[in-house]
Amino acid sequence: MGPRPDAPAASAVVPPPAWRTALGEGSPIRADWWSAFGDPVLTSLVSRALGSNVDLAAAVARIDEARAAARLARAQQTPTLGGAVPGTTGQTVSPFGTPSDAFGAQPALTASYDLDLFGRLRAASRAAQAQALASEGARDTVRLAIASGVASNYITLRALDQRLAVAQQTLAARAEALRIARRRAETGYTSNLELHQAEAEYRATQQLVPAAELAISRQENALSLLLGASPGPIPRGLPLDRLLSPAIPDGLPADLLRRRPDLFQAEQTLVAADRTLDSARAAMLPNLALTGSAGVVLSTALANPIGVFSIGASVLSPIFDGGRLRAQNDVAVARRDQAAYAYRRTALVAFQEVDNALAGVQRSGEQAVALERQVDALAAALRNASNRYRAGYTSYIEQLDAQRGLLTAELALVQARADRITAYVALYQAMGGGWSPADVTATQR
């Protein structure tokens, strides 16, 4: 039998040092962390999803199955009682040779009980209970994933709405530029080159509108699936640039990760594997069972009923099974080791996800600030280029370059803002669903 691998708690893995640096101050984040973005429509959508999502309903059904299995395992430790009332009919012959009909019955109550000397049944019961807890962790994992999925998809939807608005506004500006270029070409003030350039730029912007509308339709359908509903329109709330950016408290202790449902699930799966191994080892040892029965013989051929009873015990011990029990033990050992490694990997993945989310919040925020300044600069450059073009000081290509640069920067700014809010969602999910100052204080003691 190989050595058992280590199965450390989440806090035993060294967290990144940046976790304990000050990243901001603000109001505490509540359990319904999605409300921290300040959009009541988002809050309503998450509530709907948690109430009607089919994946969550399936997870609840798996919990019912695991709890029933745990009750069945506990029932194996209790005595088994049974009863029977067999009846017989026949004939009796008197000493004088006279036959007569007779009816008889023998009601009996039987009982059996496994003493479970080496804890085989108790270990199996504890394994079933741990598996039921693991199924609850799986349900909470699905619940957290659904809430995060709705929030992320809603943020993406609002980003697509803003991309559509940018495309429509740019298209209107391109239409005005095309009108001016056509008028100047018709009057002979400029060549047809500028007219064709303006028309090409207008058509290039025009195709962005149906592409954005198609992406919005698909995003609404994805949200409808999370809501457990048929495809259809999704209500809107605050625009993307008005969603709040919740503050992150000073330092995020690694022990907060123990609240992650997937880590709890992995821990309980390891416990269940341990108990299953104990049960497999106990199955190799002798087993003592007690049996007994008591009843009464009733018959029309008897003057009085006759009471009968029996009691006994049996010892069962494997002598030769072709290596079946040893193979079952080896299977249990391998599964226990797999669960231990899976638990450790789950902890390491948790640290990775939190660190990625923290970096995403910080870096995407810096990117958004830089893009906002770039958009302001390009908007000013476009105004200057347009004035110079209309005054006849420069060619149309200068205004065209400024328009292209501004459109690219505006779309990039929309994406950066969406990435920043989505990074908050990823952080909440990685931390098991938010935190509060009391949580931070309690884990730092």
Other Cβ atoms closer than 10 A to 310: 11
DSSP secondary structure, 172-212, as one string: HHHHHHHHHHHHHHHTTSS-HHHHHHHHHHHHHHHTHHHHH
Give the CA distances from residue 84 to residues 87, 102, 228, 286, in Å, rounded to whole numbers and listed in that order. Answer: 10, 20, 51, 30
Q: Which of 1-10, 201-210, 231-240 has the lowest mean pLDDT?
A: 1-10
Residue 429 has pLDDT above 70, yes or no: yes
- Transcribe 265-290 into DSSP letters: HHHHHHHHHHHHHHHHHHTTS-EEEE
> How many domains is the chain built from?
1
In-domain check, residue 33: yes
Q: Is residue 94 part of a domain?
A: no
Question: Over 80: is that where the pLDDT of 381 sits?
Answer: yes
The answer to which of 52-56, 286-290, 355-359, 423-427 has the lowest mean pLDDT is 286-290
What's the confidence (pLDDT) of residue 233?
Answer: 92
Q: What is the percentage of the chain residues whose pLDDT exceeds 70?
A: 68
What pLDDT score does 3 carry?
Answer: 45
Give the pLDDT confidence of 265-283 residue by residue, as tens digits.
Answer: 888 888 888 777 767 766 6
Report which residue type is found at 193. L
Helices and strands, number each (H, E), in the chain:
9, 6
Residue 364 has pLDDT above 80, yes or no: yes
In a domain? residue 402: yes
Mean of the per-residue pLDDT values of the chain: 76
Q: Position 183: which residue type?
A: R
Q: What pLDDT is stored for residue 262 in this prediction?
A: 82
CA 84/CA 141 separation, integer angstroms: 49
**Cβ-contact 84, 51 below 8 angstroms:** no
Look at the chain and count its residues. 445
Q: What is the DSSP string of 103-163?
A: EEE--EEEEEEE--TTSHHHHHHHHHHHHHHHHHHHHHHHHHHHHHHHHHHHHHHHHHHHH
Look at residue 419 in the predicted model and tell me its pLDDT: 93
CA distances 334 to 18, 119, 135, 278, 337, Å, are 37, 21, 21, 13, 5
- Phi, psi for residue 111 in degrees, rounded to 5: -140, 145
- Asked if the model's pLDDT at residue 150 lies above 90, the reply is yes
pLDDT band at 336 (very low <50, low <70, confident <90, very high): confident
Please state the rounded mean pLDDT for residues 382-393.
83
Q: Residue 119: what pLDDT?
A: 65
End-to-end CA, the chain? 40
Question: Which one has a higher pLDDT value, 33 or 116?
Answer: 33
Query: What's the distance, CA 128 to chain centroid?
Result: 22
How high is the pLDDT of residue 100? 58
Q: Is residue 97 part of a domain?
A: no
Q: Which residue has the higher pLDDT, 166 or 85?
A: 166
pLDDT of 44 > 80? The answer is yes
Which range of 18-27, 30-39, 377-386, 432-441 scores highest in mean pLDDT? It is 377-386
* Assigned token pair, 416: 């950066």
Q: Look at residue 237 in the predicted model and tell me its pLDDT.
A: 92
Q: For the residues 51-56, what does the mean pLDDT come to? A: 82
User: What CATH number is given to the structural domain containing 380?
Assistant: 1.20.1600.10
Structural domain includes residue 96: no
Q: How confident is the model at residue 432 (pLDDT cuts 50, 70, 90)?
A: confident
Segment 71-75 shows an average pLDDT of 71
> What is the arithmetic mean of pLDDT over 250-268?
72
Q: Quote the pLDDT of residue 35.
A: 83
The pLDDT, as a whole number, for residue 21 is 34
95 domain residue, yes or no: no
Question: Taking the alpha carbons of 45, 51, 55, 56 in that order, is the dihedral positive or negative?
Answer: positive
Residue 442: pLDDT band with limits 50, 70, 90: low
Task: Output the pLDDT for position 8.
Answer: 41
Whole-angstrom CA distances from 89 to 85, 156, 160, 204, 296 are: 13, 81, 85, 99, 16
Q: Looking at the predicted structure, is the pLDDT value of residue 439 above 60?
A: no
The better pLDDT of the pair 24, 406 is held by 406
Amino acid identity at 206: Q
Indicate the burial class of 133 (C-beta count within 10 angstroms; 0-12, 13-18, 19 or more).
buried
Contact 304, 128 (CB under 8 A): no
pLDDT band at residue 154, thresholds of 50, 70 and 90? very high
Exposure of 439 by Cβ count < 10 A (0-12 exposed, 13-18 middle, 19+ buried)? Answer: buried
300: helix, strand or coil: coil
3-state DSSP call for residue 122? Answer: helix
Contact assessment for residue 244 and residue 65, using Cβ atoms and an 8 Å cutoff: no
Has residue 93 been placed in a domain?
Answer: no
At 314, is the pLDDT very low, low, confident or very high (cuts 50, 70, 90)?
low
Are 440 and 251 in contact by the 8 Å Cβ rule? The answer is: yes
Report the share of the chain in percent with pLDDT over 90.
20
Among the residue ranges 53-67, 216-230, 314-328, the one predicted with the least confidence is: 314-328
**Domain ranges, residue 380:** 10-87+102-444
Q: What tokens does 209 get? A: 């509108």
Task: Report if residue 430 sits inside a domain.
Answer: yes
Instruction: Quote the CA–CA distance of 160 and 424 in Å, as a whole number.
Output: 19
Helices 54-75 and 40-52: crossing angle in degrees, nearest 10, is: 40
